[in-house]
Amino acid sequence: MPGADAASQEGSCKALCRNLVSQNGLQRETADISQSVLYTSLMGLLLVADNEKELLALGSGRLGLRNIGNTCFLNAIVQCLSHTRGLRDYCLLKSYRQDKFSKEEPRLTEAFSQVLSGLWDSKEEDTVVNPRQFYNTFRDVVPYFSGYSQQDAQEFLRFLLEKLHSEINRKPYIQRPLKDPEQKYARFRISEEAAATWKKHLENDDSKIVGQLRSSLHCSVCSHYSNTFDVFCDLSLPIPKHSTSGNVTLKECLDYFSQEERLNKENSPMCERCNRHTESTKRLSIQRFPNIIVIHLNRFTTTRWSISKSTTYISFPLTNLDLGPYGPVDCEAVLYDLYAICNHVGTVNMGHYTACCSDENGWCYYNDSSVSAVSETQLQTNQAYVLFYQRNNITTRK
């Protein structure tokens, strides 16, 4: 299972967090973004000190979750998050109780941590863990998931992360002005603009859940460039359609996601310089790379009349996924290793979710209460839906 680089942790989670916050000032345009550690990545996590980890007595983690009525979507995502080592340790150590500044009671976080405690019980007295209390708490705080109808695993993941974020936020709420003072045509370096936006985000939100995405807009009339920076918990990738082959690669999905998009006057934002809607181009890129990145393969397409599912086979690397080409200009290689997969088998109306997760003894297949070993050669299927990758902390200059 992937683990955080101890050398980058500076002794403890809190020490590293303080150090990273202090580095959120303006950076050089040529700053090596691949060497930065996005401590606000998915759940935090990966920042628990080695001496704290030693306090945990862990079992194998190879326990199933009971399906309590169309809850395979929950079971699959929980297994993937359970094998996110930093998240697991953060919850089992109850570190959020000291870190949080939110006035909300961490009801969902406590219930989620209880499920993880059962899955990683060193005694392993039970072979199956019942997530009912966690699911009941989740439905209380997110009524959208009330009932026992089929739900989308990726939607569940997003709602779960958003609620956990609000519960364990480490920043007090500060009301911002309705509109920031405008800086007409100010020429900032992209890294400076990104750092300033990130700093503003951290004023109200600091719970280690998000990364930063850059949207660049280029006006075709006056050639003005404008940038918008947004936080993200996952990357939702469209699946390109091939006329001759039914198979695509994850790289092709990433290329499709980040390719330049042409916008006409009707659907383009207003140009800051022209002060009117103009034809423009838009491109997305990753500005800050998280330690954990979740990639959603957007297999479901919704039209006015129906929802359809793509069963396209998408090949993806198990190791050394390089996201550097999708970052800032001249970015070094940013390498990731796969450690968990959420699969969806079946149709839109009759589907089922499972998970494949990596641990110290190899890969394991989780199908609700059933758990079995699986080989790496069995991981690549047309059922892959959500991929979980961990930074491997090895970078090479392109």
Which residues does the annotation mark as catalytic? 72, 352
Q: Which amino acid appears at position 379 of this protein? A: L
Tokens linked to 230: 């947004």
Tokens linked to 311: 């069963």
What DSSP assignment string belongs to 83-136? T-HHHHHHHHTTTHHHH---SS--HHHHHHHHHHHHHTBSS---SEE--HHHHH
β-pair type (280-288, 211-219): antiparallel
Nearest to 363 by CA among 378, 349, 373: 373
Q: Tell me which residue has tokens 């935090």.
A: 44
Question: Which residues touch 238 (CB under 8 Å, ≥6 apart)?
Answer: 253, 256, 257, 298
Looking at residue 290, what DSSP letter applies? B
Q: How far apart are CA 185 and CA 114, in angstroms?
A: 51
Q: Tell me which residue has tokens 């570190």.
A: 95
**Contact between residue 140 and residue 180 where contact means Cβ atoms under 8 Å apart:** no
* The dihedral sign for the CA sequence 203, 205, 208, 214: negative
Tokens linked to 66: 């009971």
CA distances from 317 to 165, 252, 314, 388, 389 (A): 30, 12, 10, 12, 10
Output phi, psi for 130, to 5 deg.
-95, 115
Q: Using alpha carbons only, what angle is made at residue 230 by residues 229 and 235, rounded to the nearest 5 degrees?
A: 120
Nearest to 390 by CA among 48, 45, 3, 13: 3
